[in-house]
Amino acid sequence: MSSIAENIARIEKGLKQETRLVAVTKTKPAEVLLEAYQAGARRFGENKVQEMVAKSEELPKDIEWHMIGHLQSNKVKYMAPFVSLIHSIDSFKLLKEVNKEAVKNDRVIECLLQIYIASEETKFGLSEDEAKEIVTSPELSDLTNIKIVGLMGMASNTDDTEVVRAEFKGLKNLFESFKQYENPRIEMRELSMGMSGDYLLAAEEGSTLVRVGSAIFGSR
């Protein structure tokens, strides 16, 4: 089995400069994250707020913490002081909560809208129409301490690469079309798509952030 450092190096080597790696460290203990850190990883993705907070307290301060999991409003306050990017905004209500906590911390928190692109029923996320409602909402201008910087999506869990590619293309198209909305709260520059099984495909289709866990750390 190859080491964490070798896996990170191999994955980084396969990516073009415009696609950055988010190492998905959920369920892994802090010493494993430290090993990834020592191999050069600086962006870590977690899916549980408490776990992210606990690890952030133990690990070096120059790590970017990315929240990639389904998020409950009442947990936002714990990560608001330090979270770097929230990938998983799936309602306007959640965005308002993030804004409220960002105000308390006197910072602007960058967010992605999570779009439902897979054919499976269990995935969280917004439909294209729901996302459009958010980016065109007159209320968005009141949210002075958040910025919507892009979109996130998870493709179907299938070996059919044409299905996966079509889902990534759909998300990329939506991303491009959202660039038309001129609002200081929107700046479409990050497209978070691609996981261990499909990150190369996602990168080909224009991903700027790939979220890779098991291909670095082994299966969970």
One-letter amino acid of 162 = E
| Angle, helix 30-38 to helix 4-14, in steps of 10 degrees | 50
Q: Which residues contact 184 (CB under 8 A, 6 or more apart)?
A: 141
- Selected binder of ligand PLP within 11, 21, 49, 68 (CB under 6 A): 68
Q: Does 196 bind ligand PLP (CB under 6 A)?
A: yes
| 3-state secondary structure at position 70 | coil
Q: Does 24 bind ligand PLP (CB under 6 A)?
A: yes
Q: Does 50 bind ligand PLP (CB under 6 A)?
A: no
Structural element, H or E, at residue 1: none
**Bridge partners, 66 (sequence order):** 45, 85
- Selected binder of ligand PLP within 7, 19, 25, 47 (CB under 6 A): 47
Q: Does 125 bind ligand PLP (CB under 6 A)?
A: no
Give whichever of 185 and 211 is closer to ligand PLP, judged by the CB atom: 211
Q: Which residues contact 214 (CB under 8 A, 6 or more apart)?
A: 196, 220
Give whichever of 150 and 213 is closer to ligand PLP, judged by the CB atom: 213
Query: Could you tell me which stretch among 136-144, 156-164, 178-186, 195-203 binds ligand PLP (CB under 6 A)?
Result: 195-203
Give whichever of 24 and 143 is closer to ligand PLP, judged by the CB atom: 24
Q: How many residues comprise the chain?
A: 220
Structural element, H or E, at residue 32: helix 30-38
Please report, as ranges, the residues that interact with ligand PLP according to CB under 6 A: 24, 26, 47, 68-69, 154, 195-197, 211-215
